[in-house]
Amino acid sequence: MMAGTMNIGLTEDETELQNLVTEFADTVVAPASYQADRDHQLPMEVVAQMGELGLFGLPFPEEVGGQGGDYMALCIAVEALARVDQSIAITLEAAVGLGAMPIFRYGTDEQKAELLPDLLAGDALAGFGLTEAGAGSDAGATRTTARLDGEHWVLNGSKQFITNSGTSITRFVTVLAVTGETARADGSSAKELSTIIVPNGSPGFTVEPSYDKVGWRASDTHPLTFDDVRVPAANLLGERGRGFANFLTTLDEGRIAVAALAVGAAQGCLDEAVAYAKTRNVFGSPIGSYQYIAFMIAEMNTRVYTSRLAWHDAARRRDAGLPFKTEAAMAKLVASDAAMRNARDATQIFGGYGFMNESLVGRQYRDSKILEIGEGTNEVQLMVISRSLGFEA
């Protein structure tokens, strides 16, 4: 039984989903997590079982092969998985939010028919190529180019930190590239950014060796290079020149899912700390009987509760068609902070045991730092929040 209040305003169907994924996380994901982390290898047998459960199709309509759920459903699943393994949770989040969702939202009927069935079944994965050495939060600094040559796009450049880009079932990567220039009202010009679907295995497209990461070590993450990669002109995803604008919507949604992931991590650390503090005896008494430890865990519980409320609110707003950009940024900010603090506190409570990689809290400590960086750094979240209050830096 997890510590804290879990079912905050969930419907009966959402509670059933939460229980289903929690059981799957405890019985299938958790037993494989240490070895997967140690091997730096995504356990594809676990991914396959996630597909069988329908997790990759959660927020998509049934008519395109989805489960008919919403973004709230996806985030419930992501949180439940992150409680025991962030690498598996981010695999799901990226596969849906960065892989399948742009195809569903911006793809042509032909692109949807060709790509969505396998993505939503979990039989294929896809990545989103945004980040470059000099372009991350500043996507306008993108240098990868795509030149239209007759009936083909010719891509040149590189990307880095691309999730789900090199697995055995990765089908393609959607690449943000400069496709020309657009005129501004003041007479100056700006980069025209578009998104283009690049199938894995395309000549000139190289998935470089995976990174040796501090955390999320079982998550599949690679740098990518493009050397005169030719793909059909029909591989343009969405309207030409709308690549960056479309990605901003994807990013806002992703911040809700990452917030849910962070809450799951914070919850996992809380659960471990509560159990350990009740059974670890020092000087004849459980360490939880000492006020300092009890208060530390009480603060951990409070962080979980408040940050969960934040992502729930952002997800409900998104699903109701209400503005959610600022709420998503606030949820990501407070939840990533909760994950990092809870991981630190849980590791301290466990002492030497918490410093071992076999320890869940030790792995959560390594994993949680990226939550303050990915999907927009926390400094970017503060920028979004302050702008909503009328401040312009």
92-151 pLDDT per residue, tens = 999 999 999 999 999 999 999 999 999 999 999 999 999 999 887 677 789 999 999 999
Burial, 138: exposed, middle or buried (Cβ in 10 Å; 0-12, 13-18, 19+)? exposed
Looking at residue 140, what DSSP letter applies? Answer: G
Q: Write down the domain spans for the chain.
A: 12-125, 126-241, 245-388
Distance CA 42, CA 197 (A): 24
Q: What is the DSSP string of 163-210?
A: ETSSSTTEEEEEEEEEEEEEE-TTS-EEEEEEEEEEETT-TTEEEPPP
Give the Cβ contact number of residue 288 at 10 Å: 19
With CA atoms as reference, report the closest residue to 325 among 372, 377, 385: 385
**Neighbouring-strand partners of residue 132:** 135
- The residue to which tokens 């009328």 are assigned: 390
- The residue to which tokens 């500043």 are assigned: 138
> Which residues are catalytic, by number?
375
For the cut 50, the answer to whether the pLDDT of residue 286 exceeds it is yes
Give the Cβ contact number of residue 148 at 10 Å: 14
The token duo for 349 is: 């409570």
Percentage above 90 pLDDT, the chain? 90
Distance CA 92, CA 78 (A): 7
Superfamily of domain 12-125: Acyl-CoA dehydrogenase/oxidase, N-terminal domain (1.10.540.10)
12-125 and 126-241, same CATH topology: no
For the cut 50, the answer to whether the pLDDT of residue 307 exceeds it is yes
This prediction's pTM: 0.95
The average pLDDT across 186-203 equals 91
Burial, 7: exposed, middle or buried (Cβ in 10 Å; 0-12, 13-18, 19+)? exposed
The average pLDDT across 155-181 equals 97
**Neighbouring-strand partners of residue 181:** 191
The three-state secondary structure class of 389 is coil
The average pLDDT across 246-259 equals 92
Distance CA 15, CA 165 (A): 32
The average pLDDT across 303-321 equals 98
User: Does domain 245-388 correspond to CATH entry 1.20.140.10?
Assistant: yes
Q: Which runs of E-coded beta strand occur in the chain?
A: 125-129, 145-149, 152-163, 170-183, 189-199, 205-207, 221-232, 236-237, 281-282, 285-286
Superfamily of domain 126-241: Butyryl-CoA Dehydrogenase, subunit A, domain 2 (2.40.110.10)
pLDDT of residue 4: 47
